[in-house]
Amino acid sequence: MTDIDFASARRRLVASLRAEGIIKSERVEKAMLSVPREEFLPNYLRLYAYEDTPLQVMYEQTISAPHMVAMMCELLDLRPGLRLLEVGTGTGYHSAVCAEAMERRGSIYTIEYYPGLALYAVQNLARLGYLDVVHVFIGDGSKGLPKYAPFDRVLVTAAAPELPPRLFEQLAPDGIMVIPIDEGFTQVLYVVTKDGNKPRMKPITYVAFVRMRYSNEK
């Protein structure tokens, strides 16, 4: 496919997501149109860049389906000037969409468990000029990045067995967290806000994400 083919496919996909009500805001629509998903995929997957499906990349990890990226961005209510923590960098695509939704004004701190995947994400983000906004770290995402907290937004792209207490602690008092939680037979996407020091959790929909990895796992 040529660049023109990719651009046309991107426009068709975004129009479809808008028609379905997944994309609700002009901010997220512009972000999804601005970021070339194919640039965050290995060459052998590029032909599938604008199919609305998750794709498995290295280390048995996935790049989320475009509709899920758009939905999570809408739930985060992104805007310029925010400090966002992302757990699960993947190939860097979701970070880039968030950066565009924030008009590249603000800071995104993203953590990836797998060093090789983090390096791949850095290469993608650098090539497209996002490293002035997106800062990539390697480590256990469930611990967050206390050095840079508090965060206005927390985006988790791997299913946790429960609400990670350290991530909740690092969420600003008026912040928003979007996180999938593994509830045994299913996973549920939640929007989490703070009610004092207690979480207020709003279920959104059933989802299927890779499970969150912890650095102390064997």
**Which residues are the active-site residues?**
64
Radius of gyration of the chain (CA): 16
Q: Quick one: which H or E segment has residue 175?
A: strand 171-182
Q: How far apart are CA 32 and CA 30, in angstroms?
A: 6
Phi/psi-derived region of residue 21, left when phi > 0, alpha when psi is between -120 and 50, beta in every other case? left
Q: Are 177 and 83 in contact (CB under 8 A)?
A: no
Which among 155, 171, 100 has a CA at the least distance from the CA of 133?
100
For 86-134, the three-class secondary structure string (H helix, E strand, C coil) is EECCCCCHHHHHHHHHCCCCEEEEEEECCHHHHHHHHHHHHHCCCCCCE
